[in-house]
Every structure is written in structure tokens, then in C-alpha cells.
């Protein structure tokens, strides 16, 4: 039997693509293996957002090769955003690779693998066909756990000056609402209770019904909430520029929407935001946050930050810290600026020293960690609605779940509860997780 191995780097959209690749390969009666040495097919789904993530992929490949972990005739398939960015260059950088495919061509992977098997020719297909891949992928099957990702749109048309995504995933293309809703129904029939809607910018979703009428993201949220079995909805990533009043109203109207939102801001300086090509300023961001907290009191807001963008001064960074103090973020993904070849920002003079970048990153992360710990302490002795999604990572005798505001909580319980919502009282607070006990219902 043909066995395949998948390794994934990067964002949740890459995780979704990997799940759909699993569906595709399993439809050929191929079997997934967790052991690289057993694999006849090795699939890498890569991330190009930062140079460090790109380097990890090539380092992993050569590490496997050096340790002789790859089967002699294994077909190595190199996909994702690095593949889309580098194209044929991948074959020269990593000669052991036989197939190079992009995010929009995952549905062609089996035919590419068969072509290699039949004639020994290497295949590269990183084209940007219309959003056809969803029409050719099999239905999602055999999902484990209680939560699943559903991509509602591909690509991005914002062209922020630092970002490679529009060049690796193409411009925005939205799936039809009928296709999205049907995929969610299939997942809920398998026991999925939490749906994570994905897109590079979900707020700008604009799907077209079979009738020709357009569906915006706010409307889609109401439609998803009507599906039996959907008990919690999350979505990412949101651009503040497109977070409309209608979407904010959905937070007020739909209890299924989780009380947490990832809302990337990148910088608190208007000058840097303009250089980044973001389409909002700090006051617009504050306005959106205020409306969200009015619609859903207690909502948890996380964000992304880029530290040390070319030209960032100490005053610009102070504006960022001021924004952090005013919003009091619950969590952040914060990174030192990484120039990506081919983006407008890559031509700017990178005039912030590495020492200064590291100091700013340390200060930013410390401040946000302080707020995160404050929020966690406020949850002590509270009762939370927790979706049980598996066994505890550190203690297989306990369960792990996630609260509405996206906190991990571990607690004693029967594994039969996995996939259900349970009421849990928070009894202990740690740096990044919570402990609790089941409330007998």
C-alpha cells in the first residue's frame, strides 16, 4: 500500500490545505503514516511569510536526507507559499524534490504524483487557476476532534508593502456561500461542533450565490449560525479596515460567535501604517475595538505586530506601546520585520539595528503577556463553557478544552466527553493555560 507523510508549516490556511490534501490522498486508498521513513509520498506544505519559516523547510529536507530517513524512491512534493514564490527554483535548491505545487493547485497533486511515477519527469505547477480546487477535492472525511477549519476565500488584494501573500496565493477569490455551507454541514454530520472560517481577509468575503446575488461576510455568519450542530464560530484573519458595522452587529446577535477575535494592527504609528500600506489609522482601530466591546462585552482581542519596520523610530514604537496600553490585548503574534523579496518594503532602507529591534520586541511581548496574565487571573473561580477537544498534552489522564475566549483549560474527566461542550469551573491559573474541574450538570 502507498503510504504518505505530511508536514505543515505556517498559518491555519496551510493547516486547512493539509487536511484537504489528506482527503485527496486517502481517496486513492493511500494510507497516512506518522513515520517519514515509511513514506512513499512526502508532502511539505510551506510558509513564506518570514525568511526563517522558509529556511526551516529546506533545513528539514536536507536533515532527512543526511540522516537517510527518506525512502530511496520516495516522491517528495513541495507545496504551499514557498513553492508558489520560488517555483522551479525549488528543484535546484532541493534536488530531491519531484513535485512543486502551489496553494491553488493542491487538487492536481495526485495527477502530478502519477506523472512522476509513470515517466520519471519532475512536475512544477504553481499556477493561479480560479478557485476551482474546491470543485475537484473530495468531501472532507474522517475529521477527528470537535473543531475544523473551512476556507471561505483565497488570496488577498490589499498588497500591504511588507507582505508576500498576494504574490504567493493570488488576489481575493471567494467561494460560493452554497459550497461553504455544504462543507460545514458535512463536517457537523461528522461531529464537528466548532467551525473556524478562514481567509487572508475574511471580512472582505464576497461569495456569489447560484442566483447571481452576492453574499457578504456578515450575511454568511448568520447563515452558518443557522446550521444544526454549529455551536461555536471563530474566524480569521480580520483586517480592521473591512470589519463593518454589520459584522460587529453579528457579535451582538449570534451567541455562536466566540468571544475572541484576532484583529491584526501591525503598528500603532500612523506614519508606519502608511508605509506598510495598511488602509486604516490608529483612531480607526480604536473605533472598531470600542464598537466590538460595546457589542460583546468582555471580548478577547489578539493581534499581530511587526517590530522594526524600515524607518521605525523610537517615537513610532512609543505610539505602538500606547496603543497596546489602550487596547489591552489578550495575546499577540509579534515579530521582527523580515524583508520578503519582491515586496515594495524590501526596497526600503532597513535602518533599525537588530539590537533595537530585539529590545522593542521584548518590551512589546512583556507588556502583552502582562495583560494576558491579568485576564487569566480574572477568570479564576469563574464558570466557563468549554469545548472538549482532546486529551491533555502533558497528562493523558486528563482532558483538554478551549474556552469561549480561546484559553486552554485542562481538567479531570472521561474521554467520552471529547467533542462535547461542558461547564468547567476555573480552579488554577498558570502562565499560558488554566486548570479546572467539571461542574456537574
> pLDDT tens digits, residue range 27-73?
999 999 999 999 999 999 999 988 888 899 999 999 999 999 999 99
Lowest mean pLDDT among 317-321, 336-340, 354-358: 336-340
Distance from C-alpha of 123 to C-alpha of 231, rounded to nearest angstrom:
43
Residue 101: which of 345, 92, 310, 111 has the closest Cα?
Answer: 111
DSSP 50: S
User: How buried is residue 315: exposed, middle or buried, by Cβ count under 10 Å (0-12/13-18/19+)?
Assistant: exposed
Pairing of strands 3-8, 31-32: parallel
Distance from C-alpha of 351 to C-alpha of 109, rounded to nearest angstrom:
43
**Neighbouring residues of 318: CB distance < 8 A, sequence distance ≥ 6:** none
Mean pLDDT along residues 314-336: 97
- CA atoms within 13 Å, Cβ hemisphere of 201: 23
Q: Is the pTM of this model over 0.95?
A: no
- pLDDT, tens digit, for every residue of 158-174? 999 999 999 988 889 99
Give φ, ψ of 25 to 5 degrees.
-70, -35
Residue 154: which of 90, 210, 106, 223 has the closest Cα?
Answer: 106
- Position 132 confidence tier, pLDDT thresholds 50, 70, 90: low
- For 209-315, list the strands marked E by DSSP: 214-216, 232-236, 260-262, 300-307
Torsion of CA 395, 399, 403, 409, to 10 degrees: -30
- Position 258 confidence tier, pLDDT thresholds 50, 70, 90: very high
Amino acid at each position: 500500500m502507498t503510504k504518505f507523510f505530511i508536514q505543515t508549516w505556517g498559518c491555519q490556511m496551510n493547516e486547512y490545505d493539509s487536511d484537504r490534501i489528506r482527503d485527496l490522498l486517502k481517496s486513492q486508498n493511500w494510507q497516512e503514516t506518522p513515520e517519514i521513513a515509511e513514506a512513499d509520498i512526502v508532502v511539505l506544505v510551506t510558509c513564506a511569510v518570514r525568511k526563517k519559516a522558509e529556511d526551516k523547510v529546506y533545513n528539514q529536507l536536507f536533515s532527512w536526507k543526511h540522516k537517510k530517513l527518506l525512502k530511496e524512491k520516495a516522491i517528495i512534493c513541495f507545496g504551499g507559499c514557498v513553492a508558489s514564490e520560488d517555483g522551479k527554483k525549488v528543484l535546484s535548491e532541493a534536488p530531491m524534490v519531484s513535485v512543486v505545487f502551489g496553494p491553488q493547485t493542491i487538487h492536481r497533486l495526485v495527477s502530478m504524483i502519477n506523472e512522476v511515477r509513470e515517466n520519471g519527469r519532475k512536475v512544477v505547477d504553481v499556477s493561479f487557476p480560479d478557485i476551482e480546487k474546491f470543485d475537484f477535492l473530495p468531501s472532507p472525511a474522517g475529521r477527528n476532534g470537535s473543531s475544523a477549519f473551512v476556507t471561505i476565500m483565497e488570496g488577498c488584494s490589499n498588497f500591504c508593502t511588507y507582505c508576500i501573500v498576494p504574490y504567493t496565493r493570488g488576489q481575493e477569490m471567494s467561494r460560493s456561500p452554497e459550497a461553504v455551507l455544504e462543507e460545514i454541514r458535512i463536517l457537523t454530520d461528522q461531529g464537528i461542533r466548532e467551525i473556524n472560517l478562514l481567509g487572508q481577509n475574511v471580512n472582505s468575503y464576497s461569495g456569489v450565490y447560484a442566483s447571481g446575488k452576492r453574499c457578504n461576510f456578515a450575511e454568511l455568519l448568520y447563515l452558518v449560525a443557522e446550521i444544526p450542530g454549529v455551536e461555536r464560530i471563530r474566524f480569521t484573519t480580520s483586517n480592521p479596515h473591512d470589519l463593518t458595522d454589520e459584522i460587529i452587529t453579528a457579535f451582538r446577535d449570534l451567541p455562536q460567535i466566540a468571544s475572541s477575535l484576532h484583529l491584526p494592527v501591525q503598528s500603532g504609528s500612523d506614519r508606519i501604517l502608511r508605509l506598510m500600506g495598511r488602509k486604516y489609522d490608529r483612531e480607526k482601530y480604536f473605533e472598531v475595538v470600542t464598537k466590538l466591546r460595546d457589542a460583546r462585552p468582555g471580548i478577547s482581542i489578539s493581534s499581530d505586530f511587526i517590530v522594526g519596520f524600515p524607518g521605525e523610530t523610537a517615537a513610532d514604537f512609543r505610539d505602538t506601546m500606547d496603543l497596546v496600553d489602550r487596547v489591552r490585548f489578550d495575546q499577540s503574534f509579534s515579530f521582527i520585520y523580515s524583508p520578503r523579496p519582491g515586496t515594495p518594503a524590501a526596497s526600503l532602507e532597513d535602518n533599525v539595528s537588530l539590537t533595537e529591534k530585539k529590545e522593542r520586541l521584548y518590551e512589546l511581548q512583556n507588556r502583552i503577556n502582562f495583560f494576558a496574565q491579568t485576564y487569566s487571573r480574572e477568570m479564576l473561580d469563574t464558570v466557563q463553557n468549554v469545548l472538549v477537544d482532546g486529551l491533555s498534552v502533558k497528562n493523558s489522564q486528563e482532558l483538554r478544552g478551549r474556552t469561549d475566549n480561546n484559553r486552554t483549560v485542562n481538567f479531570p474527566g472521561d474521554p467520552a466527553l471529547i467533542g462535547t461542550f461542558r461547564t468547567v469551573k476555573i480552579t488554577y491559573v498558570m502562565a499560558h493555560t488554566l486548570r479546572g474541574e467539571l461542574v456537574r450538570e
